[in-house]
Each structure stands twice: as structure tokens, then as C-alpha cells.
Amino acid sequence: MREVTEMDEKDKNSYHWYPGHMTKAVRMMKENMVLIDLVIELADARIPISSRNPDIESLGAGKSRIVLLNKADLADAEYNRLWTDYFKSRGDYVLEINAKSGAGIKAINGLVQEACREKIARDKKRGILNRPVRAMVAGIPNVGKSTFINSFAGRACAKTGNKPGVTKGKQWIRLNKSLELLDTPGILWPKFEDPVAGRNLAFIGSMNDEIIVTEKARYGVKWRGSPAETLEGIADSRGCILKGQKPDIKKASGILLDDFRSGRLGRITLERP
């Protein structure tokens, strides 16, 4: 649907954010912010706090905002409900969705109208009728922005093309008569300075795996059924054996992480409201 830019590629492949990347992300965000009424913020339902950009509220100041808890299919259903209640109690507009299957997506249109009630009323007062809400999708790398745009826009959508006053190259996808979506999402940095968030992001696969130092679990944990022993068991059963018959803990933990990330271990939420 949209061209993959060089920056997307870099972000996807490394998730390393440098001051230069952050400056560029802020610049693009601010550039797009003047064009839109609504930020559709994607978070990961398994870690709804850690997966949000720390500055999204200030970057999106003055705009309506919807929080979508994406990958809800991979998170615990009960916690999806608790997190939805949590965001609602803070006055946020929130929905749990599965961008991959499209589950929950239909409900977004109604929520957009609610979230932009004031803007719509303001337009009406000024005699502007039926001006579509303009929205931008934003979130950290890998949270599902592209998948969501494709799923939300679907096949029937038509690009509205460049319009005067819109920075060259910006494309709007007309979703229906009351909503237009910028086809390029805002890619924002994760909370990498918070060690707990960093660990959570690493678990879901949003950061370099090197951050999860599985070796740690090998030392100082003596009791039976410890993470270390469990990993040794996985190493044994999967044939991850190093020279000298030592279990390959790194490989075993890689298998465990893959199983968690793909949902093969069941639906697991890592953060509690």
C-alpha cells in the first residue's frame, strides 16, 4: 500500500534509536500534526504501558487521541478487559483490536466520532459540514502500524491524492465520508530508558534480543523449577547442546522467546494495570 522508506527499513531491522532518528521522528510528527485532527495510537496489548512512546501525549497535544490495544489475540483476554477499563477510567478512547485478522476494527469508526465530537461541533458552528476527520496512525516499531493501516483501509479505499497545502508526497486514504487517514504512520521511539519497559519490549521482540541476558538466570538460582533449570530442560529436549555436553541456554531461551512471541505459549500479558 505504501512505499517502505529507508528509515522504516532501518528501524525494522535494528530498532536502534539515535538522537538523529529521534530528531527526525519529532520533525515528521510535528509536520504531520498540523494536518490532522486525530492521533490513532497503537500500543501492544501485552505491554500497554511499555509499548507506548513516552512523549506521545506532549507530541499530540491539542489533538484528539484514540489508543488501540493491538495484538489483543496474543494477550490474556481478561487483562485486555482490565486494560481497556484502565484507559477508559483515564478518559482515553480505547479499543482492543487484532490488526492481523481485523477483529475490533469495525468499532473504530464510531469511536472516531466520539473522540472528535468537539471538532465536529466546532466545524458545525462555523458552518463547515461533513468535513472528514483527518487521522494519523502512530506507534513504536513493530507494534502493527502498517498491518493496521492495510486492514483498516481495506481494499475498497481510494487514495485522495496530493492536495494543495499538503507536503509533497503525503497521501490521504479516504476511508469513508467522515474519515481520512494519512497513509504514512508516525514511527516513534520506545521507552528504552526505562529498564522494565526495555525488558518487556525485548520479550515481545521489539528490541534487540541481546538485551535479554539469559545467562543471568543461570547463576544464583538454586531452587528446583528455576528459570535456569527450566531452560536447561528445554535445551535438553530440543537438543541444544554445546561442546562438552553443556546445555545451550542461549539457544533454548531463543526457542522459548519465539514460542512466547508467536503465541504458542498461550495468551500472555506482561503488564498489569
Instruction: Quote the radius of gyration of the chain (alpha carbons, Å).
Output: 21
Under rule CB under 6 A, residue 99 binds ligand G4P: yes
User: Which of 113, 97, 93 shows the shortest CA–CA distance to 152?
Assistant: 97
Residue carrying C-alpha cell 538460582? 221
Of the ranges 97-105, 154-162, 165-173, 208-216, which one interacts with ligand G4P (CB under 6 A)? 97-105
Under rule CB under 6 A, residue 70 binds ligand G4P: yes
Q: In the stretch 125-144, what mask flags binding to ligand G4P with x, by CB under 6 A?
A: --------------x-xxxx
Of the ranges 67-75, 82-90, 126-134, 162-170, which one interacts with ligand G4P (CB under 6 A)? 67-75
Q: In the stretch 139-168, what mask flags binding to ligand G4P with x, by CB under 6 A?
A: x-xxxxxxx---------------------
Under rule CB under 6 A, residue 184 binds ligand G4P: no
* Beta-ladder partners of 186: 138
Rounded-to-integer distance, Cα 110 and Cα 220, Å = 53
Rounded-to-integer distance, Cα 94 and Cα 269, Å = 17
Pick left, alpha or beta for residue 109 (phi over 0 → left; psi -120 to 50 → alpha; otherwise beta). alpha
Residue carrying C-alpha cell 508467536? 262
Total Cβ atoms within 10 A of residue 213: 12
DSSP 103: B
Residues binding ligand G4P: number (CB under 6 A): 15
Rounded-to-integer distance, Cα 97 and Cα 149, Å = 13
C-alpha cell at position 85: 477499563
Under rule CB under 6 A, residue 50 binds ligand G4P: no
Of the ranges 18-26, 65-73, 110-118, 209-217, which one interacts with ligand G4P (CB under 6 A)? 65-73
Provide the Cα torsion 164, 167, 169, 175; round to 10°: -70
Give the residue with the Cβ less far from ligand G4P, 146 or 235: 146
Ranges within 100-129 binding ligand G4P (CB under 6 A): 100
Minimum Å gap between C-beta 98 and ligand G4P is: 4
Interacting residue with ligand G4P among 51, 80, 84, 98 (CB under 6 A): 98
Under rule CB under 6 A, residue 214 binds ligand G4P: no
Under rule CB under 6 A, residue 21 binds ligand G4P: no
- Residues that bind ligand G4P in the complex, under the rule CB under 6 A: 70-71, 73-74, 98-100, 139, 141-147
